[in-house]
Amino acid sequence: MLGKLIKHDFRSLSRVLLPTQLAILGATILATIGFAVNLKMDYSHVQINGVLSLIRVITGLLSGIMVVAIIAASILVAFIIFQRFYKNLISDEGYLTFTLPVTTTNILWSKLITAMIWTLISSAVIFVCLNIFVLFGTGNDGFVNLDAYRAIGEALNAVNTAIGARVIWPILEIILFILIAAANNILQIYLALIIGGVVSHKHKVLAGIGFYFAINFAVSMLMSIIQFLFSGSMLNSFNNLNGIQWENKNALEIYNHLFGAIQPYYWFYLGLILALTVGYFLLSRYLLKNKLNLE
Amino acid sequence: MSEPTLECRGLTKYFGTNPALHNLNISLPAGKIIGLLGPNGSGKTTLIKLACGLLTPSEGEVRVCGYAPGVESKALVSYLPERTYLPDWMTVMECIRYFQDFYADFDYERAVSMLQSLQVPANAVMKTLSKGTKEKVQLVLVMSRRARLYLLDEPIGGVDPAARDYILGTILKNYSEESTVLISTHLIADVEKVLDEFIFIQNGQLVSYASTDSLREDLGKSIDQYFREVFRC
């Protein structure tokens, strides 16, 4: 049943979100063409005639469109994900959603998973668009610009020779952190919307926004307290770095020292965010199961 | 005797300090069409929402074919709320596929033929349909399931008298020996002819639960007359 929930939810999201991604892609192509034309125009003539200067202005503006499109689409993606959640669960459609023969746990999972998938899709689209722009829009002499990629390749090579394949670990840790932080953010907003729907009868969305800030405030208070309580013991791992003769160390040794020193922080903070995320999930499930009074 | 289709024991629901339902005890058998009747605010909708798991009881319990509200009971209950709950961007056909996907007891052929009889365009987007047509679509979906318990909250309030007759006819035709239909409505005169039994509730409490025939035989009254007497203002 979870698969069916995800399928239908994904379809209902994609119907609205796919056009936004196509818009980013379209804006990117325009911006890329504009920038490429702008770069390759011959400015050596002393007098620039009217048409030429008009083309310059237009092509210059085109590249701005891409930035605007990316920002607007990112906001829209987030907005629509949460709007779908609200409509499906807390508005009249909730009568359908909550009488399906599925568990509340599965409903929440489906909402989390589809939101994560769409966050990943929109991030991937932005990544691809930036690459299109760099590759085809910024070539000075040729049609494509491979300089940037060459530079990145060389940097990666250097890292690889210095510290080897173990560089994968910090990368994996960053990816893991981003995924959990994304789930944490999504579930925090879901929870706020649910609380808004439970306590308010008239202004559910407004109440939800209020609760979002309230939860944020509570979490940052909690984080400050925890940081205060643990700061002494946490600092120890960095204290170990004192007295190391850095100038005598090679890249691998420096990497090992720093990576090792960061680990306690990383796992502690990750555990904390994970605990919050699980807490949001369980509280959301409890409220949806027992407290949601659809009008 | 087999398990009752719907059973309430000491069922109580408070909204704040107001009891919407108070200590309701009732047991409905299989194979009956039952009217759930009472004045406004008597707890009809609350009872139905408790039975389909949209609300949790404050006290007591409700069971459908022996199951407390949950995945098993929801698979057996076909619920028609008194509002439109279908996503407005879906077409009628997409709504049918949605039901077909989630409910194992959904009868696709039945749904399509009912839509044709009611002349609902299958490819129309829900948003573009009139309120009455939307209600017809919902009723078709709900009655196209081969459920054990149909909970119909005001099923005919928004549709014209001709459609009303068709819908009541459909309910009569489609329900089977093992299924029970519970209809909540104000339009007693319209549904009276299809009811086997009726429940009167007021202020969240059971006033009477009897069969239509016994009312006719013993008191020589129709439900409509009896309702007007019991709930005289």
Residue A46 has pLDDT above 60, yes or no: no
Phi, psi angles (nearest 5°) of residue A195: -60, -40
Please identify which residue in the block is written with the tokens 């007098």: A47
Query: How would residue A235 be classed by pLDDT, with cut points 50, 70 and 90?
Result: low
Burial of A66 (0-12, 13-18, 19+ CB in 10 A): buried
Burial of B141 (0-12, 13-18, 19+ CB in 10 A): buried
pLDDT (mean) for B101-105: 94
Burial of B120 (0-12, 13-18, 19+ CB in 10 A): middle
Are A191 and A215 in contact by the 8 Å Cβ rule? The answer is: yes
User: Are the Cβ atoms of A93 and B86 closer than 8 angstroms?
Assistant: yes
Query: How would residue A95 be classed by pLDDT, with cut points 50, 70 and 90?
Result: very high
Say yes or no: B81 contacts chain A, CB-CB below 8 A.
yes
- Residues near A66 by Cβ (< 8 Å), separated by ≥ 6? A24, A27, A28, A30, A31, A32, A129, A133
User: Are the Cβ atoms of A8 and B74 closer than 8 angstroms?
Assistant: no
Say yes or no: A93 contacts chain B, CB-CB below 8 A.
yes
Are A80 and A282 in contact by the 8 Å Cβ rule? The answer is: no
Q: What is the mean pLDDT of chain A?
A: 87
Query: How would residue A186 be classed by pLDDT, with cut points 50, 70 and 90?
Result: very high
Contacts of A8 in chain B (CB under 8 A): 98, 101
Q: How many CA atoms lie within 13 A of A236 on its CB side?
A: 5
DSSP for residue B125: B
Say yes or no: A11 contacts chain B, CB-CB below 8 A.
no
Contacts of B126 in chain A (CB under 8 A): none
* Residue A58: predicted pLDDT: 79
pLDDT (mean) for B69-75: 93
More confident residue, A137 or B96: B96
Burial of B137 (0-12, 13-18, 19+ CB in 10 A): buried
Say yes or no: B131 contacts chain A, CB-CB below 8 A.
no
Residue A247 has pLDDT above 80, yes or no: no
Say yes or no: A15 contacts chain B, CB-CB below 8 A.
yes
Cα dihedral B157/B159/B164/B168 (nearest 10):
-60
Residue A234 has pLDDT above 70, yes or no: no
Say yes or no: B228 contacts chain A, CB-CB below 8 A.
no
Tokens representing A203 are: 């202004």
* Residue B35: predicted pLDDT: 92
CA distance A16 to B130: 24
Are A89 and A48 in contact by the 8 Å Cβ rule? The answer is: no
Provide the CA A265 distance to its chain's centre, in angstroms.
22
Say yes or no: B16 contacts chain A, CB-CB below 8 A.
no
Residue in A87, A92, A100 nearest the CB of B74? A100
CA distance A36 to A189: 41
* Residue B73: predicted pLDDT: 94
For chain B, percent of residues with pLDDT exceeding 70: 100
Which of A20-29, A242-251, A254-263, A285-294 bottoms out in mean pLDDT, i.e. has the lowest?
A242-251
Are A200 and A295 in contact by the 8 Å Cβ rule? The answer is: no
Tokens representing B184 are: 């909540």
ipTM: 0.90
Provide the CA A51 distance to its chain's centre, in angstroms.
42
Are A69 and B28 in contact by the 8 Å Cβ rule? The answer is: no
DSSP B94-118: HHHHHHHHH-TTB-HHHHHHHHHHT
Whole-model pTM?
0.89
Query: How would residue A236 be classed by pLDDT, with cut points 50, 70 and 90?
Result: low
Residue in A1, A96, A293 nearest the CB of B85? A96
Please name the residues between 209 and 268 in chain A that touch chain B, using a CB distance below 8 Å.
none
- Which of B7, B160, B183, B11 is closest to B82 using CA atoms? B183
Q: Where are the beta strands (DSSP E) in chain B?
A: 6-15, 18-28, 33-37, 59-64, 77-80, 149-153, 180-184, 197-202, 205-211
pLDDT in tens, B117-175: 888 998 999 999 988 888 889 989 999 999 999 999 988 777 788 878 888 887 787 77
More confident residue, A29 or B172: A29
Q: Which residue of A has its CA nearest to B14?
A: A293
pLDDT (mean) for B66-92: 92
* Residue A45: predicted pLDDT: 60
pLDDT (mean) for B38-67: 91
User: Are the Cβ atoms of B54 and A92 closer than 8 angstroms?
Assistant: no
Which of A76-90, A124-138, B157-171 bottoms out in mean pLDDT, i.e. has the lowest?
B157-171
Interface test with A, best of B13, B18, B54, B93 (most A CBs within 10 A): B54
Residue A96 has pLDDT above 90, yes or no: yes
CA distance A74 to A68: 10
The full length of chain B comes to 233
Which of A200-204, A214-218, B21-25, B144-148 bottoms out in mean pLDDT, i.e. has the lowest?
A200-204
Phi, psi angles (nearest 5°) of residue A112: -70, -45
Return the number of CB contacts < 8 Å for A and B: 52
Residue B79 has pLDDT above 90, yes or no: yes
Contacts of A1 in chain B (CB under 8 A): 102
B214 residue type, one letter? S
User: Are the Cβ atoms of A99 and B89 closer than 8 angstroms?
Assistant: no
* Residue B221: predicted pLDDT: 80
Residue A110 has pLDDT above 80, yes or no: yes
* Residue A295: predicted pLDDT: 66
Say yes or no: B71 contacts chain A, CB-CB below 8 A.
yes
DSSP for residue A99: T
* Residue A44: predicted pLDDT: 64
User: Are the Cβ atoms of A93 and B72 closer than 8 angstroms?
Assistant: no
Cα dihedral B49/B50/B54/B59 (nearest 10):
140
CA distance B220 to B200: 18
Say yes or no: A3 contacts chain B, CB-CB below 8 A.
no
